[in-house]
Amino acid sequence: MELFEHYRKEQLEREAPLAARMRPQSFAEFMGQEHLVGEGRVLRKSIEADQLISMLFWGPPGSGKTTLARIIANTTKSHFTPISAVTAGVADLRRIIDEARERRGMHGQRTILFIDEIHRFNKAQQDVILPYVEDGAITLIGATTENPSFEVTSPLLSRCSVFTLDSLTNEEVRTIVQRAIADEERGLGKLGVKLDEDALEHLVLMSNGDARVALNALEMATFATEPDKRGRRKIPLPTIEDALQHRALLYDKAGEQHYDTISALHKSLRGSDPDAALYWLGRMLEAGEDPLYVARRLVRFASEDVGMADPQALVVAMAAQQAVHFIGMPEGNLALAQVVVYLATAPKSNSLYKAYSQVQQDVKRTRNDPVPLHLRNPETGLMRELGYGRGYKYAHDFPGHFVEQQNLPDALQGKRYYSPSDQGFEQEVKRRLRGWWGEKGKKQ
């Protein structure tokens, strides 16, 4: 029976997809996540010292969550039991726990229960494993693409350490692809695969930090390419495009096209042209640009070019950033499209940008005088004796909840930084400031 099982396992490994065959077996082969398992890192050292705790891996698809869990099991010589929260139920969990206890009692071997997509377990399922995580009957490693704070129950979360994994960099994906092409035992080394440089660039870019996507597309393209007379398979860009079902666009995330395109988007927004803004957004997203980079630029635009003319612009931009982070791509593209249209059609003002630029200059070039005594909090008796807080006028004690008093250091008294425009909500801001300060000191 054991011989048959061994043969079956070898057969499955030979027929497994390239991504499964190329799965790293040790830290030496593992790519990425240097902040967690690099030499000298606490997690790496605790694993190598066989001091395991239950943990949750939170990160995007293809970042190595399952692979890292398997490496931990191999390194610590633990029994590895993987399940998916999509298909496993309470009965499966109880059986696994019983087997883990028996294994620990008979052989002294620890069991690592790896639960993929643990966020799909409901509260009852999570409660089943809670006591066994607590008493050490199993060591839990959960993997999730969702924020554990929202998806994992508080009792289970408090018994696990959460480690955040990042998407692989383009260079890391490139290395993984090149390893697969060269590896004759587990990879495609015996097939004479050669990727054209533009095909490799497109494969890496479109994989978006997901090694599994890259290797699956590479394998499909390989078997779709007929070997030449020398047995070599030269894979051109169109074959990779076909395997990925995504056309290569003229765009370089690290070069001039990247900066030119984001500049075109920014200037189209400033020019109140929603059609052009949507086009440049699409050029970036469809070429594989990091959507969170785009979101960050839109948040900046909301303050720099819209500002107080429409304070809701920043709220909408931040909501789009959260939407992209929450649902990912490609679904998040509409959230970015929505904020682009909102910003393009919002009233524009750079008054806030100019005000803060002047503040920056004064902070750097003028004396950093102390805070006026009347604005300081008199926390102790000595402070009160020194005059802290003396003469401060509490605005709520005055009509209209406003009273004129000095709020800047003496050297900057009367300085005006913010001058609202006549655009959008800033008209109301200007009216309020005139009502409070009139023509004295704060001329608007």
Instruction: Give the burial class of 157: count Cβ atoms within 10 A of its Cβ; 0-12 exposed, 13-18 middle, 19 or more buried.
Output: middle
- pLDDT at residue 10, as a whole number: 55
Q: What's the CA gap between 373 and 377, in Å, rounded?
A: 9
* Positions of the chain with pLDDT under 70: 1-14, 246-256, 439-444
What would the pLDDT profile of 5-38 be if each residue is shown by its tens digit?
A: 555 555 555 678 999 999 999 999 999 999 999 9
- pLDDT at residue 139, as a whole number: 93
Q: What's the CA gap between 317 and 3, in Å, rounded?
A: 60
Name the residue ranges covered by the structural domains of the chain.
32-164, 170-244, 256-345, 356-437
Closest alpha carbon to 213 in 30, 21, 59, 63: 63
Domain 170-244 listed as CATH 1.10.287.70: no
- pLDDT at residue 429, as a whole number: 83
Phi, psi for residue 139 in degrees, rounded to 5? -105, 120
CATH code for the structural domain at 256-345 = 1.20.272.10
Q: What's the CA gap between 121 and 153, in Å, rounded?
A: 10
What would the pLDDT profile of 425-442 be if each residue is shown by its tens digit?
A: 888 888 888 888 886 434
Instruction: Give the burial class of 329: count Cβ atoms within 10 A of its Cβ; 0-12 exposed, 13-18 middle, 19 or more buried.
Output: middle
Altogether, the residues listed in the chain come to a count of 444
Closest alpha carbon to 217 in 190, 248, 255: 248
What are the DSSP E strand ranges found in 95-174? 111-116, 139-144, 161-164
Positive or negative, the CA dihedral 410, 442, 347, 263 is negative
DSSP letter (8 states) at residue 89: -
Contacts of residue 83, defined as CB under 8 A and 6 or more positions apart, other chains included, come to 92, 93, 96, 113, 114, 115, 116
- pLDDT at residue 444, as a whole number: 38
- pLDDT at residue 71, as a whole number: 95
Contacts of residue 87, defined as CB under 8 A and 6 or more positions apart, other chains included, come to none
Token pair belonging to 220: 């499909």
Q: Which CATH class is domain 356-437?
A: mainly alpha
Contacts of residue 23, defined as CB under 8 A and 6 or more positions apart, other chains included, come to 66, 67, 70
Q: What's the CA gap between 305 and 307, in Å, rounded?
A: 6
Contact 265, 305 (CB under 8 A): no
Angle at 382 (CA atoms; ends 379, 386), nearest 5 degrees? 100
CATH topology of domain 32-164: Rossmann fold (3.40.50)
Contact 191, 226 (CB under 8 A): no
Q: What's the CA gap between 290 and 48, in Å, rounded?
A: 35
Closest alpha carbon to 81 in 50, 102, 62, 60: 102
- pLDDT at residue 254, as a whole number: 55
Question: For tokens 């001058």, what's the residue?
Answer: 419
Contact 237, 199 (CB under 8 A): yes
Residue type, 188: L
For residue 111, the SS3 value is strand
> Looking at the DSSP assignment, which residues form a beta bridge with residue 114?
82, 141
